[in-house]
């Protein structure tokens, strides 16, 4: 199940989330939105606790649609620590989206689990 987010809950659920959030801007009249929904649910189940998936009705949340300058629906934004890391829009179908989601999943599955642990990771640079 995808968590439905509105302008009222967006800051708490997305911008202040301790884990990256994939925001799906959609609308009830959008045919492609309905087509990709099962693919997004599959992505959510594969990512587990590494990435949160939320949905935003673009028609009912016009302020968010304007803030994020939506040009087409569906538009997917991967937001981490309040910053957009990936923007997916104008894809031509399920296969385009599937490839983009695989790329996102691969980049986050290789991350150290800093979201669930209070330990710090030493990332000092070393010269050859």
33, 47, 90, 125: the catalytic one is 33
Decide if pLDDT at 124 tops 70.
no
Per DSSP bridges, beta strands 52-57 and 21-26 are parallel
Residues β-bridged to residue 25 = 56, 75
Angle at which helices 31-47 and 94-109 cross, to 10°: 20
What order of strands is seen across the sheet that includes strand 21-26?
Answer: 3-4, 52-57, 21-26, 75-80, 83-88
Is 33 one of the catalytic residues?
yes
**Residue 56 to residue 77: CA distance in whole angstroms:** 11
Is 125 one of the catalytic residues?
no
Strands (E), the chain: 3-4, 21-26, 52-57, 75-80, 83-88
Q: Is 100 in contact with 88 (CB distance < 8 Å)?
A: yes
User: What is the reported pLDDT for 108?
Assistant: 77
pTM (2 d.p.)? 0.83
Q: Angle at CA 112, nearest 5°, toward 47 and 80?
A: 60
30, 47, 90, 125: the catalytic one is 30
Residues β-bridged to residue 56 = 25
27-39 confidence digits (pLDDT tens): 999 999 999 999 9
63-92 confidence digits (pLDDT tens): 999 999 999 999 999 999 999 999 999 877
């Amino acid at each position: 199940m995808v968590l439905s987010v509105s302008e009222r809950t967006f800051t708490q659920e997305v911008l202040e989330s301790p884990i990256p959030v994939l925001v799906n801007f959609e609308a009830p009249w959008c045919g492609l939105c309905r087509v990709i929904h099962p693919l997004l649910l599959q992505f959510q189940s594969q990512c587990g606790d590494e990435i949160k998936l939320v949905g935003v009705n673009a028609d009912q949340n016009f302020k968010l649609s304007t803030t994020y300058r939506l040009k087409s629906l569906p538009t997917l934004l991967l937001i981490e620590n309040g910053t957009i890391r990936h923007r997916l829009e104008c894809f031509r179908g399920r296969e385009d989206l599937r490839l983009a989601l695989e790329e996102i999943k691969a980049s986050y599955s290789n991350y150290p689990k800093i979201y669930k642990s209070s330990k710090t990771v030493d990332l000092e640079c070393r010269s050859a």
